[in-house]
């Protein structure tokens, strides 16, 4: 069985501030982990993917995520938020079935 | 690059009507998926097709049927639409579902916004 918990349905930051979106997972096998971003009226786009090659994964648009096995976490960060980062973010885990399970999403709000 | 194309983009149905949502990908992917997205619920898997000729139920298959027409196309059918099926539907594809030792990222269409009155 696998599951994903995204803490906080909404996260609000000021432009230029640190972005931290939290994701905790459970998986009975070593997982594949993903972060996706969804802009209004669009489908999901891949931000980054963890496949055990390195615990710190760099993605597009300045985002990165760190895999911490002991904490079963895969939090997404960005040092400095831009207005264009405002979107919905989804964490997903894929275990033995290879079919991803998605979290409920976190809406990132960026204030000027 | 078209990627994953979904039609229609919007649709309004009356309860009891039927319709088919179309999805096509041009990336030569083996695996295709249908999800529904509802506020606060994330994406929930309706059906998937690991490869051409196979389909399997996901988390919420009731009220839906699918057809993997060929490697490119994967359609979702609502036989008798109900208001509870009002949602945004997304089709996605991946290179392969497991087997290669790697789980590729999913590529998504832009969705079909379906309202059932």
Query: Which pLDDT tens digit goes with each residue over A49-58?
Result: 987 778 899 9
Compute the nearest-CA separation of B10 from chain A (Å). Answer: 11
- Which of A27-36, A78-87, B34-43 is the least confident region? A27-36
Give the model's confidence band at A28: pLDDT under 50 very low, under 70 low, under 90 confident, else very high. Answer: confident
Q: Does B100 touch chain A (CB under 8 A)?
A: no
Ordered alpha helix ranges (H), B16-103: none
pLDDT in tens, B71-103: 999 999 999 999 999 999 999 998 866 555 566
Q: Which residues contact A12 (CB under 8 A, 6 or more apart)?
A: A109, A110, A111
Q: Give the C-alpha separation, B30 to B28, whole Å.
A: 7
Give the model's confidence band at B1: pLDDT under 50 very low, under 70 low, under 90 confident, else very high. Answer: low
CB within 8 Å: B98 and A98: yes
Overall size of chain A counted in residues: 112
CB within 8 Å: B45 and A44: no
Q: Does B111 touch chain A (CB under 8 A)?
A: yes
What is residue A99's predicted lDDT score, i.e. its pLDDT?
83
- By Cβ distance, the residue of A98, A104, A105 closest to B103 is A98
Kindly tell me if the per-residue pLDDT of A45 is higher than 90: yes
* Helices then strands, each counted (H, E), chain A: 0, 11
What is residue B43's predicted lDDT score, i.e. its pLDDT?
93
Give the model's confidence band at A95: pLDDT under 50 very low, under 70 low, under 90 confident, else very high. Answer: confident
What is residue B99's predicted lDDT score, i.e. its pLDDT?
53
Q: Give the C-alpha separation, A96 to A83, whole Å.
A: 37
Kindly tell me if the per-residue pLDDT of B24 is higher than 90: yes
- Which is nearest to B36 in space by CA: B47, B26, B46, B28? B46
Spatial contact of B20 and B76, defined as CB atoms under 8 Å apart: yes
- Which of A81-95, B37-51, B100-114 is the least confident region? B100-114
Spatial contact of B77 and B70, defined as CB atoms under 8 Å apart: no
């Amino acid at each position: 069985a696998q599951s994903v918990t995204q803490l906080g349905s909404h996260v609000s930051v000021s432009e230029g501030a640190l972005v931290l979106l939290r994701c905790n997972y459970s998986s009975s096998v070593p997982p594949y982990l993903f972060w996706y971003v969804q802009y209004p009226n669009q489908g999901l786009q891949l931000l980054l993917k963890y496949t055990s090659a390195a615990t710190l994964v760099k993605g597009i648009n300045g985002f990165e995520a760190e895999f911490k096995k002991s904490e079963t976490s895969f939090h997404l960060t960005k040092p400095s938020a831009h207005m264009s980062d405002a979107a919905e973010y989804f964490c997903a885990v894929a275990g033995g079935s290879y079919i991803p399970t998605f979290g409920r999403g976190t809406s990132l709000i960026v204030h000027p | 690059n078209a990627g994953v194309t979904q039609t229609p983009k919007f649709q309004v149905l009356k309860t009891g009507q039927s319709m088919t949502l179309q999805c096509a990908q041009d990336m030569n992917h083996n695996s295709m998926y249908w999800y529904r997205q509802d506020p606060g619920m994330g994406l929930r898997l309706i059906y998937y097709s690991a490869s051409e000729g196979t389909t399997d139920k996901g988390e919420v298959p009731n009220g839906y049927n699918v057809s993997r027409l060929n490697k490119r196309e994967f359609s979702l059918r609502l036989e008798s639409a109900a208001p509870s099926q009002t949602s945004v539907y997304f089709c996605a594809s991946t290179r392969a579902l497991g087997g290669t030792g790697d789980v590729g990222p999913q590529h998504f269409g832009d969705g079909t916004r379906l309202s059932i009155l």
